[in-house]
Amino acid sequence: MDLREIKPGIAVISSIHWERRLFDALIPLPEGTSYNAYLVRGTKATALLDTSDPVFRDEFLRQLDSVPSLDYLVSQHAEQDHSGLIPAVLERFPSAKLVCNEKARQILSAHLPIAPERFQIISDGESLSLGGKTLQFIFTPWVHWPETMCTYLSEDRCLFSCDLFGSHLATSDLFVTDQAQVYDGAKRYFGEIMMPFRGILAKNLEKLSAFACRLIAPSHGPGYNRPEFILSAYRDWVSPKMRNAVVLPYISMHGSTEIMAKHLIAALAARGISVQPYDLAVADIGKLAMSLVDAATLIVGTPTVQLGPHPAVHYAAFLANYLKPKLKYAGIFGSFGWNSKAIDQLVALIPNLKVELLGTIMQKGLPDGDTLLKLEALADAVARAHRDDPEVICP
Ligand code: FEO
């Protein structure tokens, strides 16, 4: 891939990681990902915003072959997929300054070999003129690290947003061409990365609304030349409004929990509730995170293993608790052979979820008629809770 111009004086250096399938040894990447750095050339100076993942070292440096000099390297985010090649770029351009905020300096200094004199520390709102191109730095902490910031190029009304508004999507498209595909990728990204910081993210969105940007240039996935598409999606995802939907992760060892799951899915659907079941034996955990972005209810199904929940359910509950989705209701069902403490253990795993527990149902052995009726009563309770809650969007 060569350096490509997205507007006069602004070029993207794309590293497209088509084959990557896991991020942070944790997050599934079914569509791969990309790391975008941006080169901004003014009449007096040139700046590079971010770098790339270290695995792209040779390709990234080759794209810089056509850049005769660099005055500033801006680090918007210290995570390695954007900062990993900072030492290589500083070595290539020995007079370039590394521009970042103080928090970023501390993190970068701890992880990368960077001489202290290379740093130029900027404050929130400070501007840097390149000559006809003015970079303004906007601190947006906790999207998703403490040092994260965006950069606004006022002459072009272009917002460089780094992880914010990004999508884990390997594509050669400079801008969004398939909105549905990018919406899914961005929602997955939000669910996996941004969701725990929803509160501060809403404040950052408010702060960014003061900038009438025409173009958003994220560091993952394609750019947005119609920014309202992604801005309105983010406003929805951070708002208190929820879908009339149940996310239903479950797993079954000998069939009992599966019978209960299937009965509950049918009962919820019969009551007009959208159900998103995930059989945790085969589920894409990233898709589960994506479903949690706007669902009102989480219902977990588990068999009993050594008195507690199945390890896969334990992990899903841990993840839901960590991601802090805006859920308001929950339920637990499952089965056991001779004894179970799975419900108590699952409840203890989700202290971050401020949910009302609508029902818990544990079955010894195969589900009987009484248990199926209890599952229908749980579906009734979900339907009632959703209907009576003004924050749940019901038809
Ligand atoms: Fe794309 Fe937080 O790194």
Q: 195 C-alpha to center of ligand 1: Å? A: 14
Q: 38 C-alpha to center of ligand 1: Å? A: 15
The residues pairing with 299 across neighbouring beta strands, listed in sequence order, are 331
| Residue nearest ligand 1's atom 3 by CA | 79
Q: 29 C-alpha to center of ligand 1: Å? A: 13
pLDDT of residue 23: 86
How much is the mean pLDDT over the chain? 96
Q: Residues 292, 298: contact at Cβ < 8 Å?
A: yes
Which ligand 1 atom sits closest to the C-alpha of 162?
1
The secondary structure element, H or E, covering residue 73 is strand 72-74
Q: 186 C-alpha to center of ligand 1: Å? A: 13
CA distance 154 to 173: 24
Which amino acid is located at 317 in the chain?
Answer: A
pLDDT of residue 226: 95
Radius of gyration of the chain (CA): 24
Which ligand 1 atom sits closest to the C-alpha of 35?
1
258 token code pair: 């599966």
Sequence-ordered list of residues with C-beta below 8 angstroms from that of 90, at least 6 positions apart, any chain = 73, 96, 98, 114, 115, 118
Answer yes or no: is pLDDT of 131 > 80: yes
Residue 239, number of CB atoms within 10 A of its CB: 13
Q: 82 C-alpha to center of ligand 1: Å? A: 7
Answer yes or no: is pLDDT of 271 > 90: yes
| pTM of this prediction exceeds 0.75 | yes
pLDDT in tens, 273-306: 999 999 999 999 999 999 999 999 999 999 999 9
Sequence-ordered list of residues with C-beta below 8 angstroms from that of 279, at least 6 positions apart, any chain = 250, 251, 252, 258
Residue found under tokens 């544990």: 362
Average pLDDT over every residue of 93-119: 98
Which ligand 1 atom sits closest to the C-alpha of 219?
1
DSSP of 285-345:
HHHHHHHTTTEEEEEEEEEEETTEE-HHHHHHHHHHHHH-----EEEEEEEESS---HHHH
Q: 226 C-alpha to center of ligand 1: Å? A: 23
DSSP of 96-143:
-EEEE-HHHHHHHHHHS---GGGEEE--TT-EEE-SS-EEEEEE-TTS
CA distance 71 to 91: 13
Average pLDDT over every residue of 12-16: 96
Q: In what order do the strands lie in the sheet with 134-139?
A: 127-129, 134-139, 149-153, 158-162, 215-218
Coil/strand/helix, residue 150:
strand
Q: Residues 263, 230: contact at Cβ < 8 Å?
A: no
Average pLDDT over every residue of 110-114: 97
Average pLDDT over every residue of 333-340: 96
pLDDT of residue 25: 82
Q: Omega of the bond prior to 17 within 30 degrees of 0, cis?
A: no
pLDDT in tens, 20-71: 998 888 888 999 999 999 999 999 999 999 999 999 999 999 999 999 999 9
pLDDT in tens, 209-225: 999 999 999 999 999 99
Average pLDDT over every residue of 171-186: 95
Residue 146 CA, distance from chain mean position: 15
pLDDT in tens, 153-173: 999 999 999 999 999 999 999
The torsion of the CA quartet 224, 226, 232, 234, rounded to 10 degrees, works out to: 10
Sequence-ordered list of residues with C-beta below 8 angstroms from that of 148, at least 6 positions apart, any chain = 76, 77, 140, 141, 142, 162, 163, 164
| Residue nearest ligand 1's atom 2 by CA | 79
Which ligand 1 atom sits closest to the C-alpha of 144?
2
CA distance 74 to 147: 13
The torsion of the CA quartet 123, 126, 129, 132, rounded to 10 degrees, works out to: 150
Query: Which residues lie with the beta carbon below 6 Å from any ligand 1 atom?
Result: 77, 79, 81-82, 144, 163, 219-220
Helix 256-270 to helix 369-388 angle, to the nearest 10 degrees? Answer: 40
Report the percent of the chain where pLDDT is more than 70.
100
Q: 61 C-alpha to center of ligand 1: Å? A: 20
| Residue nearest ligand 1's atom 1 by CA | 163
Average pLDDT over every residue of 83-99: 98
pLDDT of residue 102: 98
Q: 24 C-alpha to center of ligand 1: Å? A: 10
pLDDT of residue 152: 98
246 token code pair: 């149940």
pLDDT of residue 24: 84
CA distance 205 to 299: 31
pLDDT of residue 376: 98
Residue 189's pLDDT band (cuts 50, 70, 90): very high
Which ligand 1 atom sits closest to the C-alpha of 220?
1
pLDDT of residue 87: 98
